[in-house]
């Protein structure tokens, strides 16, 4: 690179991301979070020491986009698989990447018990309030009154129960060391999420326990809104129930 090139360099693509075009819908939060995870791995220089556990859900192909070692878990089982991988290879940075259907519905038991055991893993929890991949069905995190494919008149508490604040529950467990809730809808939010990811990866080597990063996210296709409308809707409706910030930092 000559001097003029380096002087003009304002953006460097992280080599931890592959060149493949992502399958995500325009406006989806998954792509932004993938990029942040890749940047953190790049900046910590741990590309050959990181193992991701891919979920079932829209992020099922995460392994195609972030160029590290991966294992694919059955729907909801990522924390159990991450437990095994981290215990067998304790010198690796091990993280799960899961949607709310994966983590807070079918995988509730695996998530709670991995966090309660204090496994030295990072759990990245993308909460868009619905099952995105399968067509926008209601999830445990769906808000009261929120319309989904399986609650067309809106979630009803007497019928469907209360929206589940899984992250708050995980913060109560003795095995978690760092539990935070972030978002990626603005530049400031993106920066904070990246900082949280870095801290979580660092924690996993300090053997402090489980770090959980919830990213409150949009699913504009499932929500049937434009990306812009989705961001506004998320701020107005999701944030009051799932407020931003650290819930625990031990």
Ligand X SMILES: Cc1ncc(C[n+]2csc(CCOP(=O)(O)OP(=O)(O)O)c2C)c(N)n1
Nearer to ligand X, 98 or 180 (CB): 98
Q: Please say whether the beta carbons of 177 and 209 come within 8 A.
A: yes
* Collapsed DSSP state (helix, strand, coil) of residue 214: strand
- Find where tokens 């792509």 sit: 31
Distances (CA, A) of 106 to 25, 36, 75, 98, 241: 24, 26, 7, 11, 22
Instruction: Write down the least CB distance from residue 219 to ligand X, Å.
Output: 6
What residues form DSSP beta bridges with 83? Answer: none
Task: Check binding of 53 to ligand X (CB under 6 A).
Answer: no
CA-wise closest residue to 155 among 132, 136, 168: 136
Nearer to ligand X, 209 or 222 (CB): 222
Task: Check binding of 27 to ligand X (CB under 6 A).
Answer: no
In sequence order, which residues have a C-beta less than 8 Å from that of residue 163 and are 6 or more positions away?
140, 141, 142, 143, 144, 155, 241
* CA 40 – CA 78 distance, rounded (Å): 21
Task: Check binding of 189 to ligand X (CB under 6 A).
Answer: no
Task: Check binding of 128 to ligand X (CB under 6 A).
Answer: yes
Choices 6-14, 125-133, 152-160, 232-240; region in contact with ligand X by CB under 6 A: 125-133
Task: Check binding of 58 to ligand X (CB under 6 A).
Answer: yes
Instruction: Write down the least CB distance from residue 149 to ligand X, Å.
Output: 12
Nearer to ligand X, 122 or 219 (CB): 219
Task: Check binding of 125 to ligand X (CB under 6 A).
Answer: no
Task: Check binding of 201 to ligand X (CB under 6 A).
Answer: no
Q: Which of residues 208-237 bind ligand X (CB under 6 A)?
A: 219
Instruction: Write down the least CB distance from residue 73 to ligand X, Å.
Output: 10
Across the chain, which distance is largest between two alpha carbons, in Å?
66
Angle at which helix 108-117 crosses helix 78-88, to 10 degrees, equals 30
Nearer to ligand X, 139 or 216 (CB): 139
Task: Check binding of 163 to ligand X (CB under 6 A).
Answer: no
To the nearest 5 percent, what fractions of the chain are helix, strand and coil? 45, 20, 35
Q: Which of 139, 179, 184, 196 binds ligand X (CB under 6 A)?
A: 139
Nearer to ligand X, 120 or 167 (CB): 167
Q: Please say whether the beta carbons of 132 and 99 come within 8 A.
A: yes
Q: Which of residues 62-101 bind ligand X (CB under 6 A)?
A: 74-75, 99-101
| Interface residues toward ligand X, by CB under 6 A | 56-59, 74-75, 99-102, 106, 126, 128, 131-134, 139, 219
């Amino acid at each position: 690179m000559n001097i003029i090139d380096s002087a003009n360099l304002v953006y460097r693509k992280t080599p931890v991301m592959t060149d493949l075009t992502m399958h995500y819908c325009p406006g989806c939060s998954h792509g932004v979070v993938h990029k942040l995870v890749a940047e953190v791995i790049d900046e910590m220089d741990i590309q050959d020491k990181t193992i991701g556990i891919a979920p079932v859900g829209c992020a099922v192909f995460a392994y195609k986009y972030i160029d590290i070692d991966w294992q694919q878990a059955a729907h909801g089982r990522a924390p159990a698989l991450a437990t095994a991988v981290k215990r067998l290879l304790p010198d690796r940075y091990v993280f799960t990447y899961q949607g709310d259907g994966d983590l807070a519905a079918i995988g509730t038991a695996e998530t709670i018990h991995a966090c309660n055991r204090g496994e030295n893993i990072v759990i990245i929890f993308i909460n868009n309030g619905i099952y995105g991949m399968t067509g926008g069905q209601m999830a445990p995190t769906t808000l009261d009154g929120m319309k989904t494919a399986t609650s067309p008149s809106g979630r009803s508490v007497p019928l469907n129960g209360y929206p589940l604040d899984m992250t708050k529950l995980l913060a109560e467990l003795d095995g978690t060391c760092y539990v935070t809730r972030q978002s990626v809808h603005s530049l400031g939010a993106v920066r904070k999420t990246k900082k949280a990811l870095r801290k979580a990866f660092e924690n996993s080597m300090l053997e402090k326990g489980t770090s959980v990063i919830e990213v409150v996210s949009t699913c504009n296709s499932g929500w049937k809104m434009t990306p812009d409308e989705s961001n506004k809707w998320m701020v107005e409706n999701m944030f009051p129930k799932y407020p931003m910030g650290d819930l625990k930092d031990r």
